Amino acid sequence: MRVKPKLIDKFGRRVSYVRMSVTDRCDFRCVYCMDEEMTFVNKTKVLTFEEMQLIAEVFVELGVSKIRLTGGEPLIRANVMSLFESMGAIENLGEFVLSTNGSQLTKYASQLKTFGIKRINISLDSLRVSRFKSLTRIGDLNKVLQGIDTACATGFEKIKLNAVILKGRNDDEVLDLVNYAIDKKIDISFIEEMPLGVINEHNRGETFCSSDELKAMIEAEMNLVVSQKQAKQSDGPSNYFQVEGTQTHVGFISPHSHNFCSACNRVRVTAEGKLLLCLGNEHSADLRDVLRTYPGDRERLKQEIIRAMDLKPEKHEFKVDQAPEILRFMNMTGG
C-alpha cells in the first residue's frame, strides 16, 4: 500500500489544510478587512481556474485533506461554479468547504451542495440594518440573512457564523448574535481583529475586544461547557464551547490573547498565486511563477510547495497597539 506523502514544516507541524483565495475582490468593504477605496489585483495576475485546480490537486497529492475556498468574496467571481464543480471532484479530498459573506447564497447554495461543499462559514458582525451597513460600508443585511436561511434549508452538514467584535462598535450585540445562532441551530465563532493592512477608519488598539471579554459576556447569561467538538479537535485555532441545552457551539479565535501557532496546520494561497506560510508574516513562495514558467509541470510545482514548508515561521507577532507590520489587507490574504 502506497503511503501518502505529508507536508511537514521545520517545527514538526503537519500541513493538512489549505485556504485558497478565488479573488481579492468583494461586494462589501468591511472596516476591519480593507480600505474604503481599494486597488485590486490586475486580472491578468489572478490565477485562472485551471491553475487553481492544478494547485489544489497537487496539494491533495501531497497529503492535504481539507481545502477552503475564500476571497475577497469567492462567489462574485464570474463562472466560479465551474471551479467548485471541478475541485469538488478531486479524488481523496476529504473536506471541501467555503467562507463567504453570505450575499450570494440565495443564488448559489443548491449548486454548492451539489458540487460537494459540506460546510460553510458565513461572516455576520451585526443584526442591525444600519450598523451592518456601517461595518460593511455597502452591505445589505437582509440579503445576507436571506442567504443564511437558504443555506440552512439546503441541508449543509455544518453552517458557522464568524463575527469580528469591535469595542464600541458592535460589542453590545454579542448575546444577540449567539441567540440568533441558537435560533437557527448553527454555530458561531468570535474572532479577534487581525492587524493586517493600514486602516484609518478606527483605532485597532481602542476597539480591540479579547476572547476572554467576549466569553465573560456570554457566560453572564448562558452556561458554556467544553464541547465534544473541542475534545475531538487536534488542530485549528478555535476553542469551542457548547451552549448548554442547545445545538449551538461557540468558538473563540484568539490570535492576540491566546496564540495558537504551535498547532497551526494550514497555509494560504492568494488569488495571484502566492503561497503564504503564515497569516501574520510575509514568508511566501510564488506558485504562479512556477505555473506560468513551467505549464502543467506537476512535479516542479510539488517540489516548490515542499521547499516552501521550510519557510513557515514558528509564530506570528500581532500587536494591536502598534502600526501593522503586514501591509496587505485581509481580502488579499484569503481569510
Has residue 324 got a pLDDT over 70?
Answer: no
How confident is the model at residue 197, as a pLDDT? 46
Residues of the chain with pLDDT > 70, as a percent, come to 82
Mean pLDDT confidence for 158-180: 96
| Confidence tier at 205 by pLDDT (50, 70, 90) | low
pLDDT-derived band at 36 (thresholds 50, 70, 90) equals low
Taking 50 as the threshold, does the pLDDT of residue 323 lie above it? no
Lowest mean pLDDT across 27-31, 67-71, 77-81, 242-246: 27-31
Looking at residues 250-264, what average pLDDT do you find?
Answer: 74
**How large is the average pLDDT for residues 235-253?**
87
Taking only the tens place, the pLDDT of each residue in 263-292 is 789 999 999 999 998 876 777 899 999 999
Q: What is the dihedral of CA 44, 295, 281, 327, to 10 degrees?
A: -10
Check pLDDT > 90 for residue 190: yes
**Could you tell me which of 159, 174, 163 has the C-alpha nearest to residue 220?**
174
Amino acid at the residue 244: E
On the question of pLDDT at 201 being above 70, the answer is no
**What confidence score (pLDDT) does residue 30 get?**
81
Average pLDDT along the chain: 87
pLDDT confidence bin for 35, thresholds 50/70/90: low
Q: With bands split at pLDDT 50, 70 and 90, how would you rate the model's confidence at 33?
A: confident
Of the pLDDT bands very low, low, confident and very high (cuts 50, 70, 90), residue 259 is: low
pLDDT at residue 37 in the model: 67
At residue 193, the pLDDT reads 79
Instruction: State residue 1's pLDDT score.
Output: 43
In this model, does residue 262 exceed pLDDT 80? no
Q: What is the pLDDT of residue 321?
A: 52
CATH for 7-333 is: 3.20.20.70
Res 202: pLDDT: 52
